[in-house]
Chain A
Amino acid sequence: MPFLYFLEQLKECSIIFVLMEVNSALVDHIAHLSRLHYEESEKTAIAADLQKMISFVEKLSEIETSGVEPLQHMGNAINVLREDEVKGSATRQDALENAPVTDGTFFKVPKVIRK
């Protein structure tokens, strides 16, 4: 039974893809959202891959799930809340350890153009 709930959730997420044909514009759009770069020559292969994934999801939609509530969460836990206490911060040195560029104070990223 949980599988059916999960399926309903998946179908909700994928509904946009089910209705869409993977064309060049869609590949560009998804790549932009994911900030992925690829060579123009790879585009056809990527589109074919995506189309396969969508076909897989479409296959799932053959199962009857109408009337089944979407599954919001995999576990049964609810109300896992914590008290409002200050604890658990890392030292700045540790926090910055994996930063690609840092001056010991900030995370530095490529200039974000403004105005």
Chain B
Amino acid sequence: MSILSNKYEAVIGLEVHAQLATKSKLFCGDSIAFGAEPNTHVSPITLGHPGTLPKTNKKAVEYAIMMGIACHCEIEKDNFFARKNYFYPDLPKGYQVSQHTTPICKGGHIAIKTDGVARSVQLNRIHLEEDAGKSIHDIDDDYTCVDYNRAGTPLIEIVTEPDLFSAEEAYQYLTEVRRLVRWIGVCDGNMEEGSLRCDANVSVRLKGETKLGTKVEVKNLNSIRNVKTAIEHEIDRMTHMLENGETIIQQTRSFDAGSNTTFAIRDKEEANDYRYFAEPDLPPFHLQQSFIDSIKQALPALPAALMGKYEHEFGLSEYDAAQLCQEKEIAEYYAAVTAHTNHYKAAANWINGPVKHYLNEHKIHISSFVLKPAQIADLLLLVEEGKVNFSVASVKLLHAMIAEHHKTALQLATALNLLQVSDANELETWVSTALERMPDKVKEYRKGKKGLIGLFVGEVKKLSKGKADPKVVTSLLEEKLNGAD
């Protein structure tokens, strides 16, 4: 494969459908809540009854613009919808209302990073369209059963240029799309429930060739990992076909997660003929620059901007900043902690370390975490001031605070006897006792085996039950050991 991968290159384009997080459908007031009883979120408009008139959901338009701004697209001011005509049982009207000629967002790009190298993936467009219903093929022997709850749900379709060149790039791109839609709150990003769906167009060509190879479209990819696996499989399959002198035919293929392979579902025998025309039931909509500007201003700081701020203003490493910005709520929590303390690095370590560890272990989302950012700030301050050592604080004290979250960090540390002792007299006694217990080791140390200092510190730690400040203990020990013989 490695020889072949030097000879051939893959070119990939992705089409991502994101279900917008509105309450109601794109053109009528039916709920879009997931999991309802079949055919209970349907109105005469959804069902395409004669004489009904659709009306565009303003929120859906706003969400599409938000995504466009987040992806650096040009926002189209003069919009109209078009009918895409085809017959399928899940399409109640016989056409899908989409934006054929005037996608609401044009161009744009999304930044990705693979193997530490950053680049921008070029977008072709983001447009608004309505979803179809759901066909269920396996509950009735004689009929296909159709549920129209999903029909008319607002979607944005995010279309890349053929500008991805490996399965890993596709994986990183999708991860970034999911983070973005969740970050700005336009889609819940749940691929299992189908609120984020991806079709991959994959082709393979000889390196150096400028013409694209024949493409294959892979559908039924319900996780980001499946997208990656399916693309890897397709690249491998097509590369071997080319190497064996076979001709690749344009196909639609489906992914089988059981075997990690793809199989053909249909060949493209003739070009689709959708006979698009302007939707006569929906008047055009024109966006004012002031409206677009107000949406732009309301947009939260995007991950890239926040990461930059954390790196350059707070002095965090790129890695720490990226960890904090994986999810908006974590980044916001961090920002709230730093409102109470300027120990920026320590705050990042606390959140990326013990806090996330606790949340993962107990499967809790940060939004339901009982400790307020101010409490984490108090906790880390105790450590920074040397009153409690980090390992005690991150395990015992953190859990004590979660259990009794109305008490302050200092109250609990005092009650549990976790405060470090920096008092010289008490420390002296422990240090002397420790050294008296190990006269042989003291001799070895003085002969030059300086590594033994750790052993002495450990002994003091044991004697003090973890309350002795290790920094002070170390210097006290060194003073005694290196001093008068």
Chain A contact residues, CB within 8 Å of chain B: 9, 13, 29, 33, 35, 72-75, 77-90, 92, 95-96, 101, 103, 105-112, 114-115
For A35, the chain B residues whose CB sits under 8 A away are 87
Cα A95 to Cα B46 with chains together (Å) = 10
B30 touches A106 (CB 8 A): no
| A78 CA / B284 CA spacing, docked (Å) | 5
* A72 to B61 CA separation, bound complex (whole angstroms): 19
Q: Which residue of B lies closest to A105 (CB)?
A: B38
> Is the pair B29, A96 in contact by a Cβ cutoff of 8 Å?
no
> Contact at A107–B286, with CB atoms within 8 Å?
no
| Chain A facing B: main interface SS | loop
User: What are 15 A-to-B residue pairs whose CB atoms are below 8 Å?
Assistant: A29-B273, A33-B87, A72-B278, A78-B283, A79-B285, A81-B56, A81-B58, A82-B55, A83-B58, A84-B60, A85-B24, A90-B43, A108-B146, A112-B135, A112-B137
Query: What is the distance, in angstroms, from B242's C-beta to the closest C-beta of chain A?
Result: 26
Q: Which of B18-61 contact A (CB under 8 A)?
A: 22-24, 28-31, 37-45, 47, 55-61
How many contacts between A and B, using CB within 8 angstroms? 132
Does any Cβ of A come within 8 Å of B361's Cβ? Answer: no
Residues of B within 8 A of A88 (CB): 28-30, 43, 45
The minimal Cβ–Cβ distance linking A28 to chain B, given in whole angstroms, is 11
Contact partner of B39 (CB less than 8 A), chosen from A85, A92, A112, is A92
Cβ contacts B363-401/A at 8 Å (1 or 0 each): 000000000000000000000000000000000000000
Chain B residues closer than 8 Å to A108, beta-carbon distance: 140, 143-146
Contact A106 B146 (CB under 8 A): yes
The answer to whether B275 and A86 touch across the interface, beta carbons within 8 angstroms, is no
The answer for the CA separation of A100 and B85 in the assembled complex, in Å, is: 22
Query: Does A73 contact B58, Cβ atoms closer than 8 Å?
Result: no
Taking a contact as CB atoms closer than 8 A, the residue among B39, B55, B57, B137 that contacts A95 in the complex is B39
Q: Are A81's CB and B38's CB within 8 A?
A: no
Q: Out of A80, A107, A115, which one reaches B145, CB within 8 Å?
A: A107
Instruction: List the A side residues contacting B23 at CB < 8 Å.
Output: 84-86
The chain A residue with its CB closest to the CB of B134 is A106
> Is B142's CB under 8 angstroms from A111's CB?
yes
Q: Give the residues in chain B near A103, CB-CB below 8 Å.
A: 140, 145
B162 at interface (Cβ–Cβ under 8 A)?
A: no
Among B23, B41, B137, B143, chain A packs the most CB atoms within 10 A around the CB of B143
Assuming A89-B31, A92-B37, is B137 touching A114 (CB within 8 A)? yes
Residues of B within 8 A of A73 (CB): 80, 278, 280, 283-284
Point out the residues of chain A lying under 8 angstroms from B286, CB to CB.
78-79
Which 5 A/B pairs are nearest by Cβ-Cβ distance?
A: A84-B59, A106-B145, A108-B143, A87-B29, A88-B29
Q: Name the residue in A74, A77, A90 with the highest tally of chain B Cβ atoms < 10 Å from its Cβ.
A: A90
A57 to B42, CA, bound (A): 39
We find that the number of chain B residues with CB closer than 8 angstroms to chain A is: 53
Report A9 CB to chain B, min CB distance, Å. 7
Chain B residues closer than 8 Å to A78, beta-carbon distance: 283-286
Q: Is the CB of A86 within 8 A of B29?
A: yes
Residue of A nearest to B63 (CB): A84
Distance (whole angstroms) from the CB of B216 to the closest CB of chain A: 17
Query: Counting chain A CB atoms within 10 Å of each CB, which of B39, B87, B88, B278 scores highest?
Result: B39
B143 neighbours in A (Cβ, 8 Å):
101, 108-111
Residue with the greatest number of chain B CB neighbours at <10 A, chosen from A79, A103, A110: A79
* Given contact pairs A73-B283, A82-B57, A108-B145, A89 touches B29 in the complex (Cβ within 8 A): yes
Bound Cα distance from A84 to B22, whole angstroms: 7
With contacts A90-B42, A108-B144 taken as known, whether A79 is within 8 angstroms of B283 at the C-beta atoms is yes
> Is there contact, CB below 8 Å, between A84 and B58?
yes
Restricting to B216-273, which residues have a CB under 8 Å from any CB of A?
263, 265, 273
A80 B56 Cβ-Cβ under 8 A: yes
Interface residues of B in 280-304 (CB under 8 A from A): 280, 282-286
Do A86 and B24 have beta carbons less than 8 Å apart? yes
Check A86 against B265 for contact (C-beta < 8 Å).
no
Q: Which residues of B contact A79 (CB under 8 A)?
A: 283, 285-286
A86 to B57, CA, bound (A): 11
What residues of chain B lie closer than 8 Å to A110, measured between beta carbons?
143-144
Q: A89-B30, A107-B89, A111-B142 are in contact. List 15 more A-B contacts (CB 8 A).
A: A13-B277, A72-B284, A79-B283, A80-B56, A80-B282, A80-B285, A82-B55, A89-B42, A90-B42, A92-B42, A106-B136, A106-B140, A107-B148, A109-B146, A112-B88
B428 at the interface (CB under 8 A from A): no
Cβ–Cβ < 8 Å partners of B146 in chain A: 106-109
Cα–Cα, bound, A88→B24 (Å): 10
Per a CB cutoff under 8 Å, which of B147, B282, B283 touches A106? B147
